[in-house]
Amino acid sequence: MTWIEFANLLINGLIEGLVVALPALAMTLVMGVNRFPNAASGDLLTTGAYAAVAVQWLLGWPLWAAALLGAVITAGVSAGAYRLIFRKLAGRPMVASMLAAIGLGFLLRSLISFFAGHDQRTFDLPLVRAWNFGGVRLLPTDLVIAALAAACLAGVFVLIYRTSFGRQLRAVADSADLARASGIRAGGLMISLWLLVGALSAVGGVLLGMKAVVTPDMGWESLIPAFAAMVLGGIGSPVGAVLGALLLGVVQELAVPLLGPSYKLVLAFAVLAGVLLLRPAGLMGRVQLVR
């Protein structure tokens, strides 16, 4: 492998890692606070992408406006799922919420397939040429995707670490009983959390659709890499989820010349299994939301 090939694969891996980091962070927030793996995150991602496609197709809005409305719709679906399903399962064994999340994912995917079919969809994007720097190729669209993903991740970290919402969220994650005794109203806080989870997943879906195509199974195919990134970084650690997604994206891309693109998902499985066997706590060391 030449250094030019290495550079191209590295750039692609970082961009894919930034996109995967969005659903991985959404899963981490739910795992850290509600204590169960939200298997519906992938299909919330698909919901956001299809909502944006529908808005752009039906209303003719520009992509940024369609993506914004898609994020609002998906945030509403996410918060509604919490109120109708997951809030009622609070206090029960984790497997109950996990199975409910799997069922919700199947429901969303089936509804999307029923109304939109299985044909591939694309966003209305202008055709652009890649910039070539001595063999290192950069697509302007990829730079936009990376910048938007990084901006969303930075915004969420500011929200978690620098606002009252983040402090209350950390308190609930550490001890819900103590948080209630301190006067924190967990009900509204959980709704806000699930609105954020839905919006994050939707943005990830739109960015993934910009890079490739929109299909009913796109979220399901992204779920394993996102879950692997969450486990690799450390379950419950937002910073670890992003680092894990970036590392996984780079590893998957660098392995393409050896294994081929068809084995990316298999590699994500292998990373997931290896981390669970060798270092279950992940890169950040221990299970927590934030400190």
- How many CA atoms are closer than 13 Å to the CA of 207, on its beta-carbon side? 27
Q: Are the C-beta atoms of 153 and 229 separated by less than 8 Å?
A: no
- Name the E strands within the chain: 131-133, 136-138
177-224 pLDDT, tens digit per residue, is 677 777 777 778 899 999 999 999 999 999 999 998 999 999 988 998
75-108 pLDDT, tens digit per residue, is 999 999 999 999 999 888 899 999 999 999 999 9
- 214, β-bridge pairs: 121
Tokens found for residue 100: 């409910």
User: Which DSSP letter does residue 108 get?
Assistant: H
pLDDT of residue 191: 94
Q: What is the DSSP string of 126-189?
A: ---PPEEETTEEE-HHHHHHHHHHHHHHHHHHHHHHHSHHHHHHHHHHH-HHHHHHTT--HHHH
CB atoms within 10 A of CB 61: 16
Percent of the chain with pLDDT over 90: 57
- pTM equals 0.91
Domains of the chain with CATH codes: 3-115+135-278 (1.10.3470.10)
